[in-house]
Amino acid sequence: MIWLIARREIVTRARTKPFQILTALMFVGVIVVAVLISVFSGDGDGVEEVTIGVEGAGVDYEEVLAVGSATLDAEVVVTTGDGRTLLDDGELDVLFDGSTVIWEGFPDSTLDTYVRSTIQQTEFARRASELGLSDSDLGTLFSEIEIGEERLDGDDDEVGVRIAAAMVSTIATFVMLQVWGSFLMMGVVEEKASRVVEILLSHISPRTLLTGKIIGLGVLAFIQLSIVVLGLALGLSLVRDIEIPDGVWTLVPLLLVTFLLGYAFYAALFAAVGSTVSRQEDAQTAQLPAIMPMMVGYAIALGSISNPDTLLVKIASYVPFTSPVVLPFRVAMSNPPWWQVGVALLILAISVPIMLHVAGAIYRTALLRTGTRIPLIEAFRNRSQAQL
Amino acid sequence: MSSSGLIIRDLSKRFGDIRAVDGIDLDVPRGGLVGFLGSNGAGKTTTMRSILGIVRPDSGSITWDGALIDDEVRGRVGYMPQERGLYARMPVVDQVRYFGRLAGLDKGAASASADAWIERLGLVERRKDLVQELSGGNQQRVQLAVSLVHDPELLILDEPFAGLDPVAAETMQEIIAERAATGASVLLSSHQLDLVEGLCDHVVIVASGREVASGTPIDLRSASPHREMYIRWVEPIETWSPLAGTLLEFDGISALVQLPAAVDVGAQVAHAVSAGVLATVSVEPPSLANVFAHSVVSEDPLQSAGVPS
């Protein structure tokens, strides 16, 4: 019976425009995001073509400057007094007159570094040969000195990747929980508003009905999530050099677990809220009690990006109303000890059956009461009057 | 009384301070067709919901074939609620199949039965349409198909004729009678008492959660302390007054008279003949509608004087 109900939820919801549009948008969205990230993270295979002007007597840097680098394809023009004019006209990107690097406006950092270091190295080589040093001496002198790095606040690489991962996790979890919670609620309200629930309840118990609906939409949400992950993988494979730090990939299984637990927790709450209204028009205002705690978690997470180690974030990562959103954020930002993650997940897992129980009582009590909206507390208090 | 079929004893249910059902007894034998009458709020829907397990009664017993009704039995009950309910955005055939499966049919049986009922109810051309695209009358047909798809042994129909045009109401009556003839027990409520009178073999009238009268339609009508005499003359006559009883209507050529039940009918007719040649005469117990209106007002049809409408 549960599977029968779940299957109807999957089939009917999958046929709706909002689901199809949302899934398509998310699929395309992650691909676009992956491509954009690689474009903006720069170094790809973009080679800059520059024209360097060299001016002044005794200046013989044109050969060394024309060598170029991995990112610069340099062309050197030897000017005779008209260098500044050419620079001003945009014929040159930069002009070197033997002692000064001259720009038309703001210096380009890559080109500036290239010009200066090339000239310095040439000068070093010239001075070295004056001092009678051989090429191998020079090699020894300029061989790379390796200096390690250690950070007391962690052993990890870029903060930027952590922030990006934390934001993506938090926003994705928040949006998914809200969207699927709303879908579930709309289904509950639809059944109540159309009175079809009365026939349903003549065949099955409210518990079976609620369980079937939660499972059905949960399966569909998971399918949607898989499609999105597939899109992300596809997007990342389209762009070549983007490095995802290992720590970020461990977030994926955690996200799946927190989403599933968070979904079960919030779906029950949304169902209870939905059962208290009799018309679709009332649903928007009624869902506030379900959305509020989620919003609080969202605000705590995004508001703590610059300072993720506060007590507030720690508490919010344990409280089941906020932990589905805050825990992935905390893990991405500050890598808490694994046992803390375990405890937070355990609390959430234990809260799911409790929420199902409380929400189920409200659902059973309110489902056949039509008319004005029934306060949640009242519905729970009157649960002894529930049918079945 | 045999123990087969549906037997309800002393059923009570309160909602807060309101006694929705207050000690109702009800029998629907196998193959029986029982009409359940009462004003709005008399307790009919609550009683029906109790049978279906949607409402948990405070006290009383509901048995089917001698055993307390349970979920297993409820799988063999067909229900048509007063507030019609269907999934608006689900195709007709999917909907009927779905409810067949919910009632416990396997996939093949649900499909076959859904197709059969869709054909029987003249919905073949609409079978792929969404319910919300159908007319009100056709939605009612789907509703009926949903309540019949699993070939229920007990049919609970709350206001099955509400909103039906006369042709659809005729079809509905035929199907209900046919179900009863094949052995199903039917409990139906309706405000269309002429239909109930023609269809049901037993009627229970409730008011304020209590039974106020029950019996066959004929018995209930005969139990009335009144008879209604209708006379029509061939030629118009100027004035006329009856020998006994009250003249309810007179229009110069026909008259309607309320008579006491125990009157000498022959003398009344002779009196009418003396006024002119008769075209038509009939003396009958009041209609079920009259009995009902009367019962609900007085809560005791046997003791108070009737006021026919």
pLDDT for A44 equals 46
pLDDT for A255 equals 86
Higher pLDDT, A39 or A141: A141
- DSSP states along A233-295: HHHHHHSS--PPPHHHHTHHHHHHHHHHHHHHHHHHHHHHHHHT-SSHHHHHHHTHHHHHHHH
The minimal CB distance from B81 to the residues A191, A195, A388 is found for A195
When the pLDDT of each residue in chain A is averaged and rounded to a whole number, the result is: 83
Q: Report residues of chain B scoring pLDDT below 50.
A: 1, 299-309
What is the model's pTM? 0.74
pLDDT for A1 equals 85
Whose CA is closest to B52, among A199, A233, A115?
A199
ipTM of the complex: 0.78
Give contacts of A 63-102 with B, CB under 8 A.
Answer: none
The minimal CB distance from A194 to the residues B75, B88, B103 is found for B88
> Which residues of chain B have a Cβ shorter than 8 Å from any chain A Cβ?
15, 49, 52-56, 71, 74-75, 77, 79, 81, 83-90, 98-99, 101-103, 146-147
CA distance A335 to A50: 44
pLDDT for B302 equals 42
Whose CA is closest to A363, among A216, A258, A212?
A212
pLDDT for A153 equals 57
pLDDT at A58 > cutoff 60: no
Alpha helices per DSSP H over chain A: 2-14, 17-40, 62-65, 83-89, 109-130, 135-142, 159-193, 196-203, 206-238, 246-249, 251-275, 280-286, 288-303, 311-316, 323-334, 338-366, 376-381
8 Å CB contact of A197 and B85: yes
CA distance B189 to B46: 12
CA distance A372 to A271: 17
CB A200 within 8 A of CB B89: no
Give contacts of A 179-208 with B, CB under 8 A.
Answer: 190-191, 194-205
Interface with chain A: mutation pick from B54, B58, B140, highest number of A CBs within 10 Å:
B54
Q: Give residue A57's pLDDT band: very low, low, confident or very high (50, 70, 90).
A: low
H/E element, B281:
strand B278-284
CA distance B21 to B23: 6
Please count the residue pairs, one from chain A and one from chain B, whose beta carbons lie less than 8 angstroms apart: 66
Strands B77-80 vs B18-28: parallel, antiparallel or unpaired? unpaired
Distant-in-sequence, close-in-space partners of B163: CB < 8 Å, separation ≥ 6: B136, B137, B140
pLDDT at A45 > cutoff 60: no
pLDDT for B246 equals 87
Q: Give residue A384's pLDDT band: very low, low, confident or very high (50, 70, 90).
A: low
Q: Give residue A158's pLDDT band: very low, low, confident or very high (50, 70, 90).
A: low
Per-residue pLDDT tens digits for A85-143: 888 888 888 888 888 888 888 888 778 888 888 888 888 888 888 888 877 887 787 77
What's CA A115's distance to the chain center, in Å?
A: 38
